[in-house]
Structure 1
């Protein structure tokens, strides 16, 4: 492992409450992200070929130094589409068993195959009322390891490049007095143990207190905590939620989850 992999692995262990080595090394760990701006709009310009394409390899970085999904390399085949009220009969056999709140899920690859076969059309999936159509839970490309899943979830795929300092930005723009902490006190002591200053500042921006996370950075829910948008994935047989984050006032969320699928990438 590289020096930065060691730094990141130690930092992630601090956030997860146990070293990465204590997690199942044979498991497949994935990241899923939801944001309400693109969750449904993606269907309007969807290329079915992207839904069936294999996207293998370690997490990539499309560039930038902020926390936004555009930096990830998307893995649409292994992404999930979740629906509450799905009309097309051709889609029904592809759906997982609905959850208690009526949501059901279809994997991107299955959706793409149905679109390519002509048994389903994009016109049948267009919006008809708020969330009455499948919305995207984006899965970034990762190699299946917990280290790489956490890299993607924290936007540290290209560290030390691509790191940001949200706390400093809040001070520079006059929102916070110099020296004041904007970090959730639950994570202060863990973050103080992160060995690299730039990495520590970056991760602090993903562990803001509830007030500041509404407008910048992220709110870290903690180990094993699942944002509500991902319950259809968390409820899959063999799934285990590792950690979750929320962004804004419910507009976005990210989860790291252990899935019951082969770790062969």
Structure 2
């Protein structure tokens, strides 16, 4: 590995109970993200062809937009493997009747929710001649839990989650933010000052996470992440942002859902 990857492996290891590079079972890892603004933006300008396709796994460094920080605008999305909650499909006018019934028939159960992959949603929309924009016109959109394009390794999912694709993309934590005391010692051990400041924004105490970054959940599911649990064998690292406006989860994928059936 190059120097930056070696540094990240060593420093991100501080926040995990397991070795990043030691996965003899050949596990596949992924990053999922939910944000309360994603659905409205996606359905207003989405591309049905992209929804119907499975993105080729590749490093998030290659797929990244080149901007800085930890926002979702840095990522490339694998829309075909993203997960949509369809519990309320019948309440969306464009889906009323047979389309909603077809979606629910194709749905998986996940922590009590009915969900489909993007490829499954695209299949139903095409069958009934429904455009993504038709769903946006109702002002009611189904939640989307985006799968971020990564190469399947735990390190790549973690660096996507933490916005550490490269050194140029690091941003300092807000000076008013308060780090969660549980993670202060681990952060203090990071010798690289820019990386330490950048990562600090993802290990904040609850009040600071509402405005300045994220609160780390460790190997616990973020609040509201039920729709992705059917696709995961377990969660490795999770974060919550704002006042319930967003979360991210790095998971080990369940074998039967890599990739979803097409």
- Point out the structure with the larger helix share: 2
C-alpha displacement at 1:122, in angstroms? 4.1
Q: Distance in 2 between matches of 1:115 and 1:141?
A: 23
- Structure 1, unmatched stretches of 5+, are none
C-alpha displacement at 1:45, in angstroms? 2.4
Verify: 1:231 aligned to 2:226, yes or no.
yes
Deviations 1:158-217 (A, max 9, x none): x21200111xxx33xxxx3xxxx7210111111222242211111111111111111011
Cross-structure match for 1:113: 123
Report runs of 4+ in structure 1 exceeding 6 Å deviation: none
Q: Distance in 1 between matches of 2:5 and 2:133?
A: 45
Q: Distance in 1 between matches of 2:115 and 2:29?
A: 19
- Structure 2, unmatched stretches of 5+, are 91-99
What is the SS of the residue equivalent to 1:77? Answer: strand
1:1-265 alignment runs, 5 A limit: 1-24=1-24, 26-56=26-56, 57-59=58-60, 60-87=63-90, 88-97=100-109, 99-100=111-112, 103-118=113-128, 122=132, 125-126=135-136, 133-157=141-165, 159-166=166-173, 170-171=174-175, 176=176, 182-222=178-218, 224-236=219-231, 239-261=233-255
Q: Distance in 2 between matches of 1:155 and 1:30?
A: 14
What is the SS of the residue equivalent to 2:159? Answer: helix
CA RMSD, 1 decimal: 2.3
With normalisation by structure 1, the TM-score equals 0.84
Identify if the C-alpha distance between structure 1 residues 117 and 250 changes in structure 2 by more than 3 Å, giving closer, same or farther. same
Q: Distance in 2 between matches of 1:96 and 1:116?
A: 20
Q: Distance in 1 between matches of 2:161 and 2:74?
A: 11
Task: State how many pairs are aligned.
Answer: 246
Q: Distance in 2 between matches of 1:117 and 1:250?
A: 35
- Point out the structure with the larger strand share: 2
C-alpha displacement at 1:35, in angstroms? 0.8
